[in-house]
Amino acid sequence: MRLLGICNIITCTPLSRAVSFPLLKLNARSVASDSRKQPPWIPPQARPDAQLPRLKIYNSLTRSKDDFVPVDPMGEVVTWYACGPTVYEDAHLGHAKNYVSTDIIRRIMKDYFGFRVKFVMNTTDIDDKIILQGRQQYLLARFKQEHASEDDSVSDSVLAEAKAAFRHYISKNLPSLPSSTSPETYSEAAEKVYKEKAKPPPLADAAAAKEGEAVTIANLLLSAHIGTARSAAEALQAPGKLPEFFAKTEDILLPYLDALHGAEIESNNHKIYLELSEKFERRFFEDMEALNVLAPDQLTRVTEYVPPIVRFVEKIVANGFGYATPDGSVYFDIDSFEKAGHSYSRLQPWSKNDPALQADGEGSLSKGKSMKRSESHFALWKASKAGEPAWPSPWGHGRPGWHIECSAMASEVIGKTIDIHSGGVDLRFPHHDNELAQSEAYWSTPGCQVQWTNYFIHMGHLSIRGLKMSKSLKNYTTIRTVLSKGDWSARSLRICFLLMPWQDGIEVTDDLMKAVVSWEGKLNNFFLKSLDLWQRSSPDTTTIQELGIADQQLLSALDKAKAQVNTALCDSFNTSAVMRILSDLVTESNSVDKLSDQTVFLLARWVTRIVTIFGLDPEGDLSNLDRIGWSGLGIPTPAKPYIYPASQLRDKVRTLAFSGSVDHTAIAKFADGITIAASTPVVESSKPYDQVLQQFRTDVKALAAQQAPTKDLLALCDQLRDVHLWNLGIYLEDRNNSQPALVRPLDKSLVEARAERESASTAKARAKLERETREAEREKELRERAKIDPLLMFRTSDEYLEWDESGIPTVDAAGNVVTKSKRKKLVKEWEKQKKMHDEWLVTQQAA
């Protein structure tokens, strides 16, 4: 039993409201922002001796930043329930945004604020989408098996079925096409009916896209259908072999086979769904691991919680807030819930009567008639129709409604009050509002309400060019694809999300991507320099260097940064502010000349700690207080025995080359003396590095033997850096003050800087070429003009009728005598031409 404010009972008198509290002052505050009466949100209360940070969290329940106080009276344990994925497809970038943002906050709670976070996540392994997908995939696999042939030829019966599927697809999804449309006539018919819409809509302007999002999405959906039918029509006209044929007709076969045979699937055949959900759950957690997202402390799956879900529904019905219908479904009764003094749709009251959102929440298999008493009531338990999996219940064979799962599982695992409940922003209504209502209906007793969740946090969406990702639009990028293509790494994605407020939508723009690359590159450089210093500094810690003015300055900047970071994180996890503070601190440390090693290490270790807390270092270890940097700063292990000697040889050649008179003998001797700290023969993974080293050594010795000039030696050194090692993903960063080159892996900021330099220099070269071409053309024109004899220059023009003996016009075409002033002008032109022509004659004679 807790000492204070048991479960935030609202209508009962809390035991103690006004507590004196060492760090926080707490006030009950009403969230009623509209005319409807909303119950006040009551903050939990901790024991006076609990040590709590002054953390505020933006709470969707109050739509404001609330002081964070966990239910645990000692303020140590934090319970957190996160809505996980519905596992029937690979997770896409939009999911990455949600789960990475959640992970960032979880890590800050745990590793910065020191809470003991108990993080429970659900995965939905049975729901309408999974049922549909599982059934369709099963039926398609069966169909393929039944129609397999030795030589992979497409039989007449397959063709006939696929043609029927084509008609079915068109009538369902492209109803404006004539019903007689065949694969042969499809292209023309679609062109005619959907002329404009068949083209993907212009999305260039993100703001405009947002404004017309509904229209745009409808258009995208339509163009996806048009594309699906087109690909099927092509396959039907030129079937080819079975595998390609199925690949092109799968999307029309799936819904067709389901319409034909879906209802035949046995309701106790759960296997076909579990195979699908297990596969995608496994893939989901692989993706999360690749993104350095911590695994949940506990994972709940709907199919493992059916009996508690049934009991949960029974109690809601017993409390008078739910009713069963004759068909065996159970619905939540919003009206009696509100009559009893509860409030429905607290998170998103403005959506309370939004039929589209409500229908979406009920699932795709629930379309059509239901026996519920009001359209806004939602399903707690769904009677299973033919072809749907089912579990026994007091109301007959059925399956859990969507929202009940989270309420029942969270209540089962965490209990009456959850500290934090999270999910993507689209879950606010109806999912979380329904959960909230169900759980209050379950836990509250007459006259005593329960505040089931104290802090709801919702992650903003990711959109690209104004559109949120969606599978049905056939336009989404899976996490796997993104990471394997190399446009984004797990780190750069996370940096992107850290740079923006977690609760806001993110629009990935070129500017944002640039900011990501530059932040990451800056930190890479800072860590590399610090690590290099660390490796070269003497391990003798007794020799404390004296602190100079620069050190004092940086140490006070560090103290300031620490305080600012604390303020920012307490301000509802303002990571974008923290990212700037880190970047500014690095800038400041770069701007001073002489820092003592200790100061550099102090700065680097603190920055390392913060980026590790943010999850930017998959190899991070917060218990290692000496760690500097993050993973990926070193060159690959197989490269080390070869690349370090290559770089040393290169340093030596450069030093000698710069020293005035080059000592070729010394160079040759050094090249011979290189030692390689690896066993022979060279292991396979080291071979490319070994080859580069051997080639460089041979080239150096050849140049030394020829007594080659400095510029050739330096060119060879540049070639090693810019071509051979660059192509192996390694960079040698030359430094001043006779320091050896820094051996480092390439990163995106280096690659982009080089691309920019090169495009700038090609642009320059192109401009020069154009200028030269223009000049050449002008000269040529002048030369051509110079060939014209001044005597004839005006005679070829039909502007004039008569000329004098020098060829200067006297009468114009209209028969008027040329005026004096005009003549003066013409004489000038004539004299100029004469001069040019005379010069030309001279060159001709010379030739």
Ligand X SMILES: *[C@@H]1O[C@H](CO)[C@@H](O)[C@H](O)[C@H]1NC(C)=O
The nearer residue to ligand X, 257 or 390, going by C-beta atoms, is: 390
Whether 674 contacts 649, CB under 8 Å: yes
638 lies in the site for ligand X, by CB under 6 A: no
CB of 623 to ligand X, least distance (A): 30
Distance CA 572, CA 593 (A): 37
* Contact with ligand X (CB under 6 A) among 260, 483, 515, 577: 577
Chain positions 116 to 155 lying near ligand X, rule: CB under 6 A, are 122, 124
The answer to whether 421 and 433 are in contact (CB under 8 A) is no
Q: Which is nearer to ligand X, 127 or 419 (CB)?
A: 127
Cα angle value 416/420/426 (rounded, 5°):
110
Smaller CB separation from ligand X, 190 or 409 = 409
Stretch that binds ligand X, among 48-56, 191-199, 492-500, 574-582 (CB under 6 A): 574-582
- Closest distance between ligand X and the C-beta of residue 301, in Å? 7
Pairing label, strands 462-464, 506-507: parallel
Q: Which is nearer to ligand X, 735 or 768 (CB)?
A: 735
Site string for ligand X, 448-467 (x = CB under 6 A): ----------------xx--
Nearest to 73 by CA among 102, 52, 58: 52
In angstroms, what is the minimal distance from the CB of 684 to ligand X? Answer: 36
Strand-pair category, 800-803 with 809-812: antiparallel
- Identify whether the C-beta of residue 458 lies closer than 8 Å to the C-beta of residue 502: no
> Which listed range, 165-173, 492-500, 566-574, 675-683, lies at the site for ligand X (CB under 6 A)?
566-574
Among 17, 37, 536, 735, binds ligand X (CB under 6 A): 735
Preceding omega of 430 cis (within 30 degrees of 0): yes
- Choice between 83 and 693, CB closer to ligand X: 83
Shortest distance, CB of residue 167 to ligand X, whole angstroms?
A: 25
302 makes contact with ligand X (CB under 6 A): yes
What is the identity of the amino acid at 449?
Q
**Number of residues lying near ligand X (CB under 6 A):** 26
Among 341, 501, 521, 807, binds ligand X (CB under 6 A): 501
State whether residue 41 is helix, strand or coil: strand
Q: Which of residues 393-422 bind ligand X (CB under 6 A)?
A: 402, 405-406, 409
DSSP assignment of 402-417 equals HHHHHHHHHHHHT-S-
CA distance 91 to 97: 11
The region of 81-89, 375-383, 582-590, 828-836 touching ligand X under the rule CB under 6 A is 81-89
Shorter beta-carbon distance to ligand X: residue 135 or 225: 225
Residues 205-234 touching ligand X, rule: CB under 6 A, are: 220
Report the distance separating Cα 783 and Cα 840, nearest Å: 8
The closest of 534, 462, 547 to 742, measured between CA atoms, is 534
Residue closer to ligand X (CB basis): 423 or 620: 423
Q: Is 745 in the site for ligand X (CB under 6 A)?
A: no
State the minimum distance, in angstroms, from the CB of residue 299 to ligand X: 11
Q: Could you tell me which stretch among 78-86, 603-611, 640-648, 673-681 binds ligand X (CB under 6 A)? A: 78-86
Q: What is the closest distance, in whole angstroms, from the C-beta atom of residue 464 to ligand X in the complex? A: 4
Give the tokens for residue 685: 């993974």
Residue 205 and residue 220: Cα distance in Å, rounded? Answer: 16
Q: Sign of torsion, CA 601 604 607 612?
A: negative
Assess 475 for contact with ligand X (CB under 6 A): yes
Q: Name the residue nearer to ligand X (CB basis): 489 or 503.
A: 503
Report the alpha-carbon distance of residue 668 to residue 700 in Å, rounded.
7
Q: Is 749 in the site for ligand X (CB under 6 A)?
A: no
Residue 658 beta carbon to ligand X: minimum distance, rounded to whole angstroms: 13
Give residue 762's Cα distance to chain centre. 32
45, 19 Cβ separation under 8 angstroms: yes
Residue range at the interface with ligand X (CB under 6 A); choices 357-365, 568-576, 620-628, 836-844: 568-576
Distance from chain centroid for Cα 540: 45
- Name which of 164 and 577 has its Cβ closer to ligand X: 577
Is residue 423 a contact residue for ligand X (CB under 6 A)?
Answer: yes
Output the six-digit token pair for 580. Answer: 């700037």
What the block records as the tokens of 816 is 């008027």
Residue 845 in the binding site for ligand X (CB under 6 A): no
How many whole angstroms separate alpha carbon 417 and alpha carbon 450? 8
Q: Is 736 in the site for ligand X (CB under 6 A)?
A: yes
In this structure, which amino acid lies at residue 541? T
Class of residue 42 by CB neighbours under 10 A (exposed 0-12, middle 13-18, buried 19+)? buried
Query: 400-412 as b/e, with b when 16 or more CB fall inside 10 Å?
Result: bbbbbbbbbbbbe
Q: Which helix (H) or strand (E) holds 210?
A: helix 206-211
Say if CB 263 and CB 451 are below 8 A apart.
no
Region of 280-288, 573-581, 707-715, 760-768 interacting with ligand X (CB under 6 A): 573-581
Does an H or E element contain 330, and which?
strand 330-332
> Between 306 and 720, whose beta carbon lies closer to ligand X?
306
By beta-carbon proximity to ligand X, the closer residue of 220 and 607 is 220
Judged by CB, which is closer to ligand X: 336, or 351? 351
| Cβ 126 to ligand X shortest distance, Å | 9
Is residue 13 a contact residue for ligand X (CB under 6 A)? no
**422 or 451, CB closer to ligand X?**
422
The verdict on 271 binding ligand X (CB under 6 A) reads no
The alpha carbon of residue 520 and the mean position of all alpha carbons in its chain are separated, in whole angstroms, by: 15
Where does 679-747 have alpha helices with state H?
687-705, 710-719, 726-727
Q: Which is nearer to ligand X, 48 or 200 (CB)?
A: 200
DSSP letters, 740-788, are PPEEEE--HHHHHHHHHHHHHHHHHHHHHHHHHHHHHHHHHHHHHHHTS
CB of 734 to ligand X, least distance (A): 8
* Residue (203 or 678) nearer to ligand X, CB: 203
Contacts of 210 (CB under 8 A, 6+ apart): 463, 466
CB 548, min distance to ligand X, A = 19
Among 216, 411, 434, 574, binds ligand X (CB under 6 A): 574
Q: Which residues are near ligand X by CB under 6 A?
A: 83-86, 122, 124, 200, 220, 302, 402, 405-406, 409, 423, 427, 464-465, 475, 501, 568, 571, 574, 576-577, 735-736
